[in-house]
Amino acid sequence: MRRLIVFLGMMAVCGAGLAAEGVGSAGEGRVAAVLLEAKDWPSDGGDWRTWSQRDEISPKFWVDEKVFLKGKSSLAISGGGNPAANGRWEKIVSGIKGEKSYRLTAHYQAKDVAYERQHVIVRLDWLNSKGNRVEQPDYLTELTKEREWKRTEGTFQSPKNARAVRIELTLAWSPKGTVWWDSIRLVEVPQPNGRKVTIATVFCRPRGNKSSRENIRQFCEMLELAAKDHPDIVCLPEAMNMVGTRLSYVEAAEPIPGPSTKALGEVAKRFRFYVVAGLLERDGSNVFNTAVLIGRDGTLVGKYRKVYLPREEVEGGGTPGDSFPVFETDFGAIGMMICWDVQYVDPARALASQGADAIFLPIWGGNLTLAKARAIENQVYLVTSGYDMPTFIINPVGDVLAQASKEKPIVSETVDLDRRIKQPWLGDMKARFWKEWRADVKMPGWSE
């Protein structure tokens, strides 16, 4: 079944229709137009249309007058028992201007949908004046639960030659599932400011020191030098309390929090930045290879214990960690990996799937290609600080933004964590990846 009606004339009004609302930030005096306010539908869906690629995979569509959020009905889709069912409610909205920001909000309620992130999809498909796609669609990924309903939303910049947009509300490959859509809103908004963060990383390899204290003092001096760039966060390398000394893993290990985190925290507090640092940790009889996150106030925010240990660390008395925590900062969520973790796909995937915007990787030595792959695979910034591995800042498409060296031991880069990097033929993979990732398919050999 294909009932796609292209509408590019005067904007159709649905629900509350066309309105104007001031949504600019204080002092801007900007008024943003509501292009669509939809919260009720006639029995045939009104000017919303249904679409499926062909009749044999078309789901069941109807306007449900028993389930709704704010109006008196909702747009419903059911898989109808067909595993191949894939279809959507859609509406084309004109009045779009090129290179402007638009925010779409949609509410839905799902029943018997096993994996909502992939099976329940909202997209904005940008069109030119002839009704043709001008760029890869944008996917909504922000999600908030409101009792039995969920609100999904996102803010996007329209392509330069966009003149209309198709709003698509999809249920895909969920034979037992049903989804109800209600309270759909599209509004032009002021250009977002973004989330700017200045990241610094350090190349420093102490040699000939006799104690952990001497090593940490040297790294504190590097942090003081890094402060000249006014970073928000600084990355230091792995096993800082052992490298370059004659101490073993066990001899170098110390409590966390402990003397090293105290010394690093004093510098972090003085310059008001976060610090990621690799330390060997003792906890009872266990010795962990640990990365710590120290806050702007100098206190310990949290720690990550290296999950993947190479045999050398096992033989040296190390114990593996068992989780991949993500930590909230005042600029976004971050995760940490350590050295050998980069050899495996699941540490970075686990961190990114929990919302990490950037991954910090204290590392001794490793594979440059794999580090880039982890950034690309998960569409995150990846920051290393190493000894036998390049020390660099990588963006989500694998570009090296800055690299430290003996000649330039400290580098920094200011990045916008909200910037969407659109690639030819792919679009914004950060959003697209999570909607297309088949986490519902069990991988042979992987534990539950």
- Token readout for 443 is 């991988």
339 is catalytic: yes
408 is catalytic: no
235 is catalytic: no
Classify the phi-psi angles of 99: left when phi > 0, otherwise alpha if psi is within -120 to 50, otherwise beta.
left
Q: Which of 135, 238, 377, 413 is catalytic?
A: 238
Strand, coil or helix: 352: helix
User: Which residues lie closer than 8 Å to 325 by C-beta, 6 or more apart?
Assistant: 302, 304, 335
User: Which residues lie closer than 8 Å to 55 by C-beta, 6 or more apart?
Assistant: 1
- Cα torsion 218, 219, 224, 226: sign: positive
Instruction: Please state, in angstroms and rounded to a whole number, the distance separating the CA atoms of residues 400 and 53.
Output: 41
Instruction: Please state, in angstroms and rounded to a whole number, the distance separating the CA atoms of residues 285 and 35.
Output: 63
Q: Which of 90, 339, 413, 435 is catalytic?
A: 339
- Token readout for 350 is 């686990």
Helix axes 212-226 and 259-271, enclosed angle (nearest 10): 10
Q: What is the CB-side half-sphere exposure of residue 197 using CA atoms within 13 A?
A: 23
- Cα torsion 282, 285, 287, 290: sign: negative
Give the Å distances, CA to CA, from 224 to 17, 81, 266, 324, 397. 57, 63, 11, 30, 31
Q: Which of 39, 91, 303, 306 is catalytic?
A: 306
Would you name the residues annotated as active-site residues?
238, 306, 339
